Structure 1
Amino acid sequence: MLTVHHLNQSRSQRVLWALEELNLPYQIVRYQRGANMLAPESLKKIHPLGKSPIVENDGHVIAESGAILEYLQEIGDPESRFKPQDIDGKLQYRFWLHYAEGSLMSLMMIKLVLQMLGKSPVPLGLRTVGKVLGTGVQKAWLNKQIATHAGFIESHLAKTPWFAGETLSMADIQMSFPLFALLSRGGIPSLPNIAAWKARVEARPAWQQAIEKGGPFSLPGE
C-alpha cells in the first residue's frame, strides 16, 4: 500500500488530493511542524532532505510534489483521466506542472520570508530593521513580480476552467498549493478567475475527503 508522509499545512495536501481523485488506497504517517514552522528531524529518516511530501511504494521512496504526481498518474490513471492526450493539452499540462514550483512558488516563499523579517524567530533587536527591509524589497520588486504572474494566470483561467483544458488534471493539483498561497498572501485584491477556480477545487468530493483525512488546510497571509 502507498504510504504518504504527511506534514500539516504543507504541499503534501495535494498528494492526498491526487490519491483521492485516483481512488488509490493509501495510509498516512503524520508529522507536525515545530515552533519554527519547519518539518521535524524525523522526516530525514525517510528521505535525506527531510521535506514533505514523501511517498513510499513497493520499496521506492519518491520525493518532490511534481515527481510524486507524475508517478501517481502513471500507476493509478491508466485511462489518462488526469493527463490530457491532445497536443495543446499536453503542452499546457507540462508547463503548469513545472511552473507551479519553478516560478510561482518561489515568489510566494520569498514573500513569506520577507514578511517574517519583522517577527519571531528573528531576534527582537533586529525586527524593526528587518520589517523595513522586507517591506522595501516587496514594494520595490517582489509585489510587481507577483502581480505580473497573477495577471498571467488570471488571463489563462479566463479561457479555460482548468489549467490544461476542460477537465481537472494533475497540473491543477500541482498548482493548488502556490495558488492558495497567492490568494492568501499575494496582496492582490481582485482575482475572480483564480477565485472561481479555487471554488471549483474546493467543491470536489476528493478535495473534501483529502481535507477530512489530512486535517485542516490553510495558508495564512500577513
Structure 2
Amino acid sequence: MITLYGFGRVHQKVIGETRDLRVQWALEELGLPYRVHPLDHTGGELSSPAYAAISPFNQVPVIDDDGVVVAETGAILLYLAEKAGALPADAAGRAAVVQWCFAALTTVEPPIAMILLMDLGGLPGGEHRAALVPWAHRVLAGIERRLDGRTWIAADDFTVADILLATVLRQTRRTDLLAGYPRLRAYYDRALTRPAWQRTLERHAQRLGATVADIQ
C-alpha cells in the first residue's frame, strides 16, 4: 500500500494550502489504495533524521510505495499516473501531460505562490506584490489561450496535469486574479467540483482539525 507522508499538524494560516493536498487528490482520483502518515510540522518532525532520510529538503509530501520512495509533487503525480495506467498511451499525449505538469509548477505557480505568501504575511507585500501581478496575468493569459475549445489542459480527459494546475490556481481564490479569464475560471470551477477533490478536502480538514468551510 502507498504511504503518503502529509501534514498532521501545521500552522493555522496554511491549513488547506499545503501540497500534500495535490497528492491525496491524485490518489483519490486514481483509486489507488493508500494510508496517510501525518507529520507534526510545528513540532519539528520534518527536521528529524528519519524524515530527512526520505525527503532531501525536509519537505512534504513524500510517498513510499512498498519501498519506492518519491519526493517532489510533480514527480509523485507522474509516478502515480503511470502506476495507475492513467497516462495517454501515445508519445505525444504523454508528452503533453508532462509538459503541463512542468508548466503548472515552474511557469504558472511562481508568481501566484509568491502573491499568496505575501497575502498570508510570509513575505513583505506592497510594491513587491504589485510587481508580481503583471507576471501572474501573463501566465494566466497563456492558459486562457490554451483552453480555447478545450475542457482540460493537456488531453481530452482529466489528468494529473489538471490536478497540479487547478491546485496552483486555487492559490488565487482570495484575489481577483482570475477575473477577465472566462475559460480559465470555468476550467477551475470544473476541476474543483470533482468528487475526488471534495473527498480530499474533507479528509484533509478532518486530519488537521478544521472544517471544509474553513479551507474551501
TM-score where L is the length of structure 2: 0.79
Which residue does the alignment assign to 1:111? 115
Which residue does the alignment assign to 1:56? 64
Q: Is the 8 A contact 2:116 2:171 kept in 1?
A: no
CA distance in 2 between partners of 1:217 and 1:84 (Å)? 35
Equivalenced residue count is 197
Choose from 32, 35, 38 the match for 1:24. Answer: 32
Q: Is the 8 A contact 2:113 2:171 kept in 1?
A: no
Choose from 165, 169, 172 the match for 1:175. Answer: 165
**CA displacement at 1:50 relative to structure 2:** 2.0
Choose from 128, 143, 146 the match for 1:137. Answer: 128
CA distance in 2 between partners of 1:24 and 1:169 (Å)? 15
Choose from 86, 92, 103 the match for 1:99. Answer: 103
- The residue type equivalent to 1:165 in the other structure is A
Matches within 5 A, 1:72-91: 72-77=80-85, 82-86=86-90, 88-91=92-95
CA distance in 2 between partners of 1:59 and 1:65 (Å)? 18
**Alignment gaps of 5+ in structure 2:** 8-14, 206-211
Which residue does the alignment assign to 2:10? none
Alignment partner of 1:176: what SS? helix
CA distance in 1 between partners of 2:99 and 2:41 (Å)? 31
Indicate whether 1:43 and 2:33 are aligned. no
**CA displacement at 1:160 relative to structure 2:** 0.7
Once the two structures are aligned, what percentage of the paired residues are identical? Answer: 28
**CA displacement at 1:24 relative to structure 2:** 0.9
**How large is the RMSD of aligned CA atoms in angstroms?**
2.6
Indicate whether 1:190 and 2:180 are aligned. yes
- Report which of the two structures shows the higher radius of gyration computed on alpha carbons: 1
**CA displacement at 1:165 relative to structure 2:** 2.2
